[in-house]
Chain A
């Protein structure tokens, strides 16, 4: 292995095997003509086949069918009608999921970094060679520094296989951007109030709600499938939607009330809503007496947080605050103040989520029809394996400054990898699977320092994402359409399980994640943890334990199981019994108080943009997931780059027009790698600009995505860390516009 540090390798340096497969075959023939059909006979007639899967384009994991034609080629993917995540209708990403399979830019064969004539290059390697090298390096690092010094950074289904591998060799040093960079604060905030995490999918009873309140949550732009479907049903049913957002989001445009709030002031609005609900006597006090803890303290706490007070902070008129509070109260308990999903914004996010949870508590929507249903999951029995060894330290030790951290904090794993930043516990190597941490983690300077300092970096992915260019060994995973993975079991109204099986063999020289983990494990002397030839044996064993079988699931794809935990909602008058310290809904959090945090949320002002700067807000487009889909040929057809939304007043001030390209420079002087086109639109406030996350790819091997649009993550250098659970608030970054980047664009 070379010792000099890691230049980013643009993979192309050494020829990759296999010419690109000819682009789409321009066939005249029609498809199978069986969308949405559960009729097997017709499929057999047409010599087409279908194979159950669940989607890996995002975390919603909708179950569907991969259809192949008479030549055994994948034709299309359709939703499974029995699946409560999608009800037979996949979203654009799921429908376009075959683009992940078709993409000719995929990673095709293992690569090993080496030095050639003073230059670092990747050379193609056999699996044997790559896996041997990884096992050798991991064993050495384990011997020198302990297994704990090897960290797993993961996302999605393949992460599970590697989690098993890591626990088998004695490391629980793990981080997942899905927590601290995303939904962590809401889990902490709702757990402090109701005793349990929200989880995924959110148990929001949107289809039966009378009032849906969205605090910056952009359902419809985030394509969380069944939730979008239920929002459409709620619209059909005449439910009122209240959207709080500085931007006219899609949801805002469908709302009865859009509150165009000044960014970063949500907590003030939430507190003033509490004030109105309490002091205008809009609440069911009997319910509150029986089911909540700390009402009197809360009442005193919000006494001065009047709508007039909030108006000065939020720019929302007092009359509108009162009107919307009444709208919620009239709908109660069939009202949802939605927890949102990506909520790591300002560093006081757990407290904002607490405020949202408290409103739900006051309005009595927990465990009520049209509010939050009582979710139920299903525990799939674990395939037997020897006991895992006990690591001397884990992610918990790295997160010890954040008492309510419920999962590994990616940024702390990264910090522990930098010698001068790390404490007692040091990380020496990473295995990164299914997450492009060059786009998902803010403060990239730290990420770069960590990468620089690592002894060894393995990346497992299907695509040459930015992070791949920094790896010592790259392992090409096959796509979800070409592999078995663990059974999907998620919490829903009813427990439900779904199977993923390959519809076609892996393309190129790619391999399933389970196989890769097993191969590394066996080479590290951990074969007994991988006691199977094929992962389908594990699935079959698990299914047999619960009275099903692989054969049955191959035929049906999804199995919905009866509830065992009782009713979906609390009965009328039934008192809640929650896993909080008081057993009640904690308006006053005993847990936060005990840990030295504010037991009830407070509004604290956040930094504002200086003259000539604008707050950077980012979000989702319905046809893309993170930075993962930017090269998918179906989805780039729909949107191939992001644009910078700018209010016409701002555009006039700067003399910009739609389509003009600018570089962004943030408050710390960091400039984007690529320019971004301006979109002048009335849909955004004048003190903020907005862009879709996940563009501006720096790896040239992504031929459709390279250099298209700009990367918001590059601009997020000021990170406001949530002291309660370690979330990385990303919205206190401000940008200005420059026409010339003043340097060669990084490429």
Chain B
């Protein structure tokens, strides 16, 4: 069991619905976010290319945030999901510094917070708030170890990339291109 995401940049319109749905599902305070939209533009008018990406914690297999956490608050749970136990977190921010994706922030209550792949709903739902809400259905979430899962199937059939491969973190989020 290894949870991951494939996000289709050909469909994403960068609307930010994933961000709001995450905020309301996970009580992320105003002014903070666990996921966000990146817009990249290449070329010169009128030969211009535009890509939107919905980004978040990559739940890296080789996760620097877990390695550097002095208290064990950052750890990996079943399915490869990287989570933070708020009670154990001392807010030292070492993990924030170590993350090549800038995926973590300090919650106003003092602990570090980030995407959990909506771990709290797994008993009910094999989906995440961002994936369930996306109007373009561009976020595929599921088990990368299961070759029959939707996410495995799209990754089999489509070209994709991951972010910051040079960091060697083995991210679990892939962008369909």
Smallest beta-carbon distance A597→chain B, Å: 35
**Do residues A683 and B41 form an inter-chain contact, with CB atoms below 8 A?**
yes
Of the candidates B15, B26, B108, B136, the one whose C-beta lies within 8 Å of that of A26 is: B108
In whole angstroms, how far apart are the Cα atoms of A450 and B30 in the complex? 40
In whole angstroms, how far apart are the Cα atoms of A24 and B107 in the complex? 13
Chain A positions 4 through 39: 1 when the CB is less than 8 Å from some CB of chain B, otherwise 0? 000000000000000000011011111101111101
Known contacts A35-B121, A232-B11, A683-B48; A92 and B132 CB within 8 A of each other: no
**Do residues A79 and B27 form an inter-chain contact, with CB atoms below 8 A?**
no
**Do residues B13 and A92 form an inter-chain contact, with CB atoms below 8 A?**
no
**Which of B11, B20, B29 has most chain A Cβ within 10 Å?**
B20
**Do residues A95 and B45 form an inter-chain contact, with CB atoms below 8 A?**
no
Q: Does A250 contact B (CB under 8 A)?
A: yes
Q: Does A709 contact B (CB under 8 A)?
A: no
**Do residues A235 and B10 form an inter-chain contact, with CB atoms below 8 A?**
yes
Of the candidates A27, A91, A248, the one whose C-beta lies within 8 Å of that of B27 is: A27
Smallest beta-carbon distance B102→chain A, Å: 17
Within residues 97 to 146 of chain B, which ones have a CB less than 8 A from any CB in chain A?
107-109, 118, 120-121, 123-125, 127, 129, 132-138
Smallest beta-carbon distance A20→chain B, Å: 13
Smallest beta-carbon distance A448→chain B, Å: 35
Which residues on the B side are within 8 Å of A469 (C-beta)? none
Chain B positions 13 through 34: 1 when the CB is less than 8 Å from some CB of chain A, otherwise 0? 1111101110111110111010
**Which of A34, A95, A235, A250 has most chain B Cβ within 10 Å?**
A95
Smallest beta-carbon distance B80→chain A, Å: 20
Q: Does B77 contact A (CB under 8 A)?
A: no
**Do residues B20 and A638 form an inter-chain contact, with CB atoms below 8 A?**
yes
Smallest beta-carbon distance B33→chain A, Å: 7
In whole angstroms, how far apart are the Cα atoms of A89 and B134 in the complex? 6
Within residues 215 to 256 of chain A, which ones have a CB less than 8 A from any CB in chain B?
220-221, 223, 225, 228-229, 231-232, 235-236, 248, 250, 253-254
Which residues on the B side are within 8 Å of A91 (C-beta)? 15, 17, 135
Which residues on the B side are within 8 Å of A228 (C-beta)? 13, 15, 135-136
Known contacts A91-B17, A254-B10, A623-B15; A260 and B27 CB within 8 A of each other: no
Q: Does B78 contact A (CB under 8 A)?
A: no
Q: Does B160 contact A (CB under 8 A)?
A: no
**Do residues B124 and A34 form an inter-chain contact, with CB atoms below 8 A?**
yes
In whole angstroms, how far apart are the Cα atoms of A33 and B124 in the complex? 8
In whole angstroms, how far apart are the Cα atoms of A89 and B15 in the complex? 13
With an 8 Å Cβ cutoff, the count of chain A residues facing the other chain is 60
**Do residues A35 and B25 form an inter-chain contact, with CB atoms below 8 A?**
yes
Q: Does A682 contact B (CB under 8 A)?
A: yes
Known contacts A229-B137, A232-B138, A235-B10; A633 and B16 CB within 8 A of each other: no
In whole angstroms, how far apart are the Cα atoms of A410 and B86 in the complex? 55
In whole angstroms, how far apart are the Cα atoms of A74 and B19 in the complex? 18
In whole angstroms, how far apart are the Cα atoms of A684 and B44 in the complex? 10
Smallest beta-carbon distance B109→chain A, Å: 6
Q: Does B165 contact A (CB under 8 A)?
A: no
**Do residues B11 and A236 form an inter-chain contact, with CB atoms below 8 A?**
yes
Of the candidates B15, B23, B44, B124, the one whose C-beta lies within 8 Å of that of A622 is: B15
Q: Does B49 contact A (CB under 8 A)?
A: yes
Smallest beta-carbon distance B135→chain A, Å: 5
Of the candidates B23, B134, B136, the one whose C-beta lies within 8 Å of that of A637 is: B23
Within residues 593 to 646 of chain A, which ones have a CB less than 8 A from any CB in chain B?
622-623, 633-635, 637-639
**Do residues A31 and B135 form an inter-chain contact, with CB atoms below 8 A?**
no
**Do residues B15 and A223 form an inter-chain contact, with CB atoms below 8 A?**
yes
Q: Does A686 contact B (CB under 8 A)?
A: yes
Which residues on the A side are within 8 Å of B134 (C-beta)? 89
In whole angstroms, how far apart are the Cα atoms of A91 and B41 in the complex? 24
Known contacts A24-B30, A26-B108, A682-B48; A42 and B20 CB within 8 A of each other: no
Known contacts A37-B124, A223-B135; A684 and B13 CB within 8 A of each other: no
With both beta carbons as reference points, the residue of chain A lying nearest to B129 in the complex is identified as: A35
Which residues on the A side are within 8 Å of B25 (C-beta)? 30-31, 33, 35, 76
With both beta carbons as reference points, the residue of chain B lying nearest to A233 in the complex is identified as: B137
Known contacts A228-B13, A682-B41; A634 and B23 CB within 8 A of each other: yes
With both beta carbons as reference points, the residue of chain B lying nearest to A25 in the complex is identified as: B27
Q: Does A131 contact B (CB under 8 A)?
A: no
Smallest beta-carbon distance B156→chain A, Å: 16
Smallest beta-carbon distance B76→chain A, Å: 19
**Do residues B13 and A221 form an inter-chain contact, with CB atoms below 8 A?**
yes
Smallest beta-carbon distance A66→chain B, Å: 11
With both beta carbons as reference points, the residue of chain A lying nearest to B121 in the complex is identified as: A33
**Do residues B20 and A634 form an inter-chain contact, with CB atoms below 8 A?**
yes
**Do residues B137 and A232 form an inter-chain contact, with CB atoms below 8 A?**
yes
Q: Does B50 contact A (CB under 8 A)?
A: yes
Which residues on the B side are within 8 Å of A439 (C-beta)? none
In whole angstroms, how far apart are the Cα atoms of A254 and B52 in the complex? 11
Known contacts A35-B121, A229-B137, A260-B45; A250 and B27 CB within 8 A of each other: no
With both beta carbons as reference points, the residue of chain B lying nearest to A231 in the complex is identified as: B136
Which residues on the B side are within 8 Å of A37 (C-beta)? 124-125
Q: Does A681 contact B (CB under 8 A)?
A: yes
With both beta carbons as reference points, the residue of chain A lying nearest to B37 in the complex is identified as: A638
In whole angstroms, how far apart are the Cα atoms of A253 and B136 in the complex? 15
Q: Does A90 contact B (CB under 8 A)?
A: yes
**Do residues B29 and A682 form an inter-chain contact, with CB atoms below 8 A?**
no
In whole angstroms, how far apart are the Cα atoms of A42 and B19 in the complex? 25
Within residues 55 to 108 of chain A, which ones have a CB less than 8 A from any CB in chain B?
75-79, 86, 88-92, 95-96, 98
Which residues on the B side are within 8 Å of A346 (C-beta)? none
Which residues on the A side are within 8 Å of B14 (C-beta)? 250, 622
Of the candidates A34, A35, A98, A684, the one whose C-beta lies within 8 Å of that of B133 is: A35
Q: Does A647 contact B (CB under 8 A)?
A: yes
Which residues on the A side are within 8 Å of B129 (C-beta)? 31, 35
Q: Does A345 contact B (CB under 8 A)?
A: no
Which residues on the B side are within 8 Å of A685 (C-beta)? 45
Of the candidates A28, A76, A682, the one whose C-beta lies within 8 Å of that of B109 is: A28
Chain B positions 30 through 74: 1 when the CB is less than 8 Å from some CB of chain A, otherwise 0? 110100000001011110111110000000000000000000000
Q: Does A706 contact B (CB under 8 A)?
A: no
Smallest beta-carbon distance A646→chain B, Å: 11
Q: Does A138 contact B (CB under 8 A)?
A: no
**Do residues B45 and A682 form an inter-chain contact, with CB atoms below 8 A?**
yes
**Do residues B21 and A258 form an inter-chain contact, with CB atoms below 8 A?**
no
In whole angstroms, how far apart are the Cα atoms of A236 and B17 in the complex? 20
Which residues on the B side are within 8 Å of A220 (C-beta)? 13, 15, 136
Q: List the 9 closest pairs (A to B, CB-CB), nearest first.
A: A220-B13, A622-B15, A232-B136, A33-B121, A253-B50, A76-B24, A36-B132, A260-B46, A92-B17
Q: List 19 A-B contacts (CB under 8 A).
A: A24-B29, A26-B109, A30-B120, A33-B121, A35-B127, A35-B133, A42-B124, A90-B17, A90-B133, A220-B15, A220-B136, A229-B137, A250-B52, A622-B13, A622-B17, A637-B31, A638-B19, A682-B44, A685-B45
Q: A250-B13, A622-B17 are in contact. List 5 more A-B contacts (CB 8 A).
A: A33-B125, A35-B133, A95-B17, A253-B50, A634-B24
